[in-house]
């Protein structure tokens, strides 16, 4: 109960501290931002794999893994605003991030919040052993990934 309260508190603090996007200061700065964004999303990917396998009954449901991976996705989601707030449109970087990210950055931030929320809810469900909700809450994480990729990621 205390842990959940503090998680909610941390989430609220971060959301209230949402950044405005600002242009990268140099090509080097833009390239580093792309590298960090991609690294962060690789780590998200490394955590969703097992969740997908469990949702599809390819591997056994495991509450400890659900909790750990959901916690890590939540932590990574709380880093996203910092990395994406560097607007890299002015430099010739190789990126799958579409220009729309910075055309309506507040909307992009709302997609980040959706992921933080979905990950937090799966984490809490796993902590509580609420097995009947696991598949729906895993589904909500994948839905939030797709909800952002559909608009903001190159195919």
Chain residues binding a second copy by CB under 8 A are 2-3, 6, 32, 35-36, 38-40, 42-43, 46, 72, 75, 79, 83
Q: What is the three-class DSSP state of 86?
A: strand
Q: How far is the CB of 39 from a second copy (least distance, A)?
A: 4
Rounded distance, CA 8 to CA 31, Å?
33
Rounded distance, CA 81 to CA 18, Å?
7
Q: How far is the CB of 125 from a second copy (least distance, A)?
A: 19
Q: How far is the CB of 153 from a second copy (least distance, A)?
A: 17
How long a stretch of residues is the chain?
155
Measured from the CB atom, is 17 or 154 closer to a second copy? 17
Q: What is the three-class DSSP state of 97?
A: strand
List the structure tokens of 146.
Answer: 């797709």
């Amino acid at each position: 109960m205390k842990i959940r309260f503090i998680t909610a508190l941390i989430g609220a603090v971060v959301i209230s501290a949402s950044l405005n996007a600002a242009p990268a200061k140099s090509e080097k700065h833009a390239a580093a931002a792309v590298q960090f964004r991609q690294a962060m999303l690789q780590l998200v990917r490394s955590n969703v794999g097992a969740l997908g396998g469990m949702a599809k009954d390819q591997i056994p449901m495991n509450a400890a893994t659900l909790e750990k991976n959901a916690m890590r996705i939540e932590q990574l989601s709380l880093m996203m605003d910092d990395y994406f707030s560097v607007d890299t449109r002015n430099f010739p970087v190789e990126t799958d991030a579409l220009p729309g990210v910075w055309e309506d950055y507040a909307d992009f931030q709302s997609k980040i919040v959706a992921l933080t929320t979905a990950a937090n809810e799966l984490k809490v469900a796993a902590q509580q052993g609420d097995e009947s909700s696991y598949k729906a809450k895993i589904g909500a994480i994948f839905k939030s990934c797709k909800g952002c990729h559909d608009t903001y990621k190159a195919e």
